[in-house]
A and B are shown apart, each in its own frame.
Chain A
């Protein structure tokens, strides 16, 4: 997953796409170490330590990784898409993002 995520962050500009992690490591030191080791350049919540932290509990996460793809309006559009499915879903949402920006520019 990490190499794929790193390539997505590289491929798309920061104003159109962001990865937001929620980390369930036991300690914040372990979380920082994992970020360093896997060269994750994006923002991460630390979920208080362990897999039953407040964010994962509220989002009812029972498997890791669990992912949500959220569009520019904050709407959940896909759950747990990976690989090529993730790539094409992302392409589609960014196309929508661009269309919205173009429309704004015309106003």
Chain B
């Protein structure tokens, strides 16, 4: 029943979208679907889109704070583990239709591209929203493939599932963006996604090797470059896979003693990277 409601809710929005697309392509003739990068957005349209997104963002922030309040209130990790959040009320699910409508209403704006960064993980969560993901990816490729800010969208692409649509988008950005920063970010995210599963590991490794060779100087986040980032990923792919001997760790214990991982050889070991935050 819930699923049907969700679809009915989206239908009018889909209709709006279908009407919009032809108008949009005729409006700034000679723009065609083959030449989408020349779509002109006026400063007024950009400002309107920004305002609408800010308002929507404020509402989403409030909803997230409310939703996550029980976790904030939990005092110990045991209490946190015991919190059960209602997946039906998850803002990541609830706001999907509104955010999708926003992107349909403000095509070509920078604000819309920002919204797509949030929409992709939201639409990737449930197989039933696969048609929305199809639309989103088509529109991003159509409207933003030459946009420099596409980097912000593809940069964390490896945190989304390796769906056909997500892979298609990353491949398009890697191959067709005129910006090295976008190409490098897409190549990296694609390499991470493909490297994560055994069947596609070879291609994943090739892509990460390509990042190391061609995009090492491109900035990832803060002062970290893709060169530094990818060194860790290649080490993981080459030395930290199931079936490989764990690399040695030599360090200092919390008590202040010298300690090494290999001293535990002969026992089954659960190696746990943790922090109490």
Q: A residues bordering B, Cβ < 8 Å?
A: 1-3, 5, 8, 14-25, 28, 30-32, 34-35, 37-38, 43-47, 51, 54-61, 64-79, 86, 90, 93-94, 97
Contact = CB atoms under 8 A, between A and B. Distances in A.
Contacts of A64: 273-275, 277
Contacts, number: 156
B261 A20 contact: yes
13 contacts: A1-B274, A20-B261, A21-B272, A22-B274, A28-B256, A37-B276, A45-B249, A59-B236, A60-B232, A68-B246, A73-B265, A78-B242, A93-B268
Contacts of B236: 59-60
Size category, B interface: 35 or more
Given A45-B259, A72-B266, A24 B275 contact: yes
A22 B272 contact: yes
A35 B254 contact: yes
A24 B276 CA distance: 8
A46 B266 contact: no
Contact of B270 (A19, A73, A97): A19
A103 B247 CA distance: 27
Contacts of A3: 78
B273 A77 contact: no
B131 interface: no
